[in-house]
Structure 1
Amino acid sequence: MKKYQKTAIAALSSMAMLLASVPAVFADEALTLMNPSSQEVQTQQQSQAQDINIFAQNPIREYFNGGYSTDIYLSGSVTFRFNPLTTGEYVFNVEDMSGTLKGSGRVMVSDFGTKSITLENLKGYHKIVAYSPNGYGGSYDIYY
């Protein structure tokens, strides 16, 4: 009787080991078949970029006339750098999380080339909105 029990336990153990490896084989194959295309990954990354990013990396690329930036934790100063698309006045507003204006800067552009402006005494979480002349748009980088 004991010999029969040992044989049965050995057989069940062998079957359990075989069955345990089967889902792993199917899982590997399913992952291989379900890999997203690079376009899907890029779309997902762009949608995530619109979310709050507590650990955002320097610099952050934003767009004039594009609404508020992602929430950024500032520890003193923030610098905006951009290449103007047109001449005129470029405006940068820094607001705290309740929407109170905490800093504002203006750059009058009369020639083309890289421009920058730095705002000081900004601590805590903020959001930034920037405007270009006549709504021409373009991008700017935020260094903080």
Structure 2
Amino acid sequence: MKKYQKTTIAALSSMAMLLASVPAVFADEALTVTNPSSQEVQTQIQTQPQSQAHEINIFAQNPLREYFNGGYSTDIYLSGNVTFMFTPLTTGEYVFNVEDMSGNLKGSGRVIVSDFGTKSITLGNLYGYHKIVAYSPNSYGGSYDIYY
């Protein structure tokens, strides 16, 4: 019985020592948090373009970058309008389809491009989780940004 007790105590002591050392390994990293000064934060705010200042949303990943002819986007929770912005790489018809999670088409938009300036299209009345797929003329590709 004494041998069993000694073995148990030794095992528990070893486990306690191992567990006690684990937080100490990460303590240096956990305690060295650096917060930017208010002057650094003010500098970052001032260097952002004025047009982006009102579009900042802490919780959303606006804008979301996706690619034409690249398949479906990640699932996006829409609460009304969604805007697509892109700079075309070729002329022709660009198509944006918004589908619900069951694959039902809930919104579609087309942009006919004849020049190479920045283009945008907004689709409305879209609520809940959706996925987006976009096509460029002749599968030429390129990227577009989704603002939701």
The answer to whether TM tops 0.5 is: yes
Q: Which residue of 2 aligns with 1:122?
A: 126
The ranges of structure 1 where at least 4 consecutive aligned residues each deviate by more than 3 angstroms after the TM superposition are 19-22, 24-28
1:91-120 residue CA offsets vs partner (Å, 9 max, x unmatched): 000000000000000000000010000001
Q: Which residue of 2 aligns with 1:132?
A: 136
Q: Which residue of 2 aligns with 1:60?
A: 64
Partner of residue 75 from structure 1, selected from 54, 58, 79 = 79
1:106 aligns with 2:110: yes
Question: Which structure 2 residues correspond to residues 12-31 of structure 1 after superposition, within 5 A?
Answer: 23-24=21-22, 27-28=25-26
Change (3 A) 1:141 1:25: closer
> Aligned residues: percent identity?
79
Count of aligned pairs between the two proteins:
103
Change (3 A) 1:21 1:123: closer
Distance 1:25 1:97 in 2: 43
- Give me the TM-score of the superposition, normalised by structure 1: 0.64
Change (3 A) 1:21 1:79: closer
Change (3 A) 1:100 1:22: closer
**Unpaired runs of at least 5, structure 2:** 1-13, 30-58
In our comparison, the structure showing a higher alpha carbon Rg is 1
Distance 1:92 1:66 in 2: 12
**Unpaired runs of at least 5, structure 1:** 1-15, 32-54
**How far off its partner does 1:23 sit?**
2.8
- Report the secondary structure of 2:25's partner residue: helix
Distance 1:57 1:25 in 2: 33
Change (3 A) 1:94 1:22: closer
- Report the secondary structure of 1:68's partner residue: coil
Change (3 A) 1:27 1:82: same
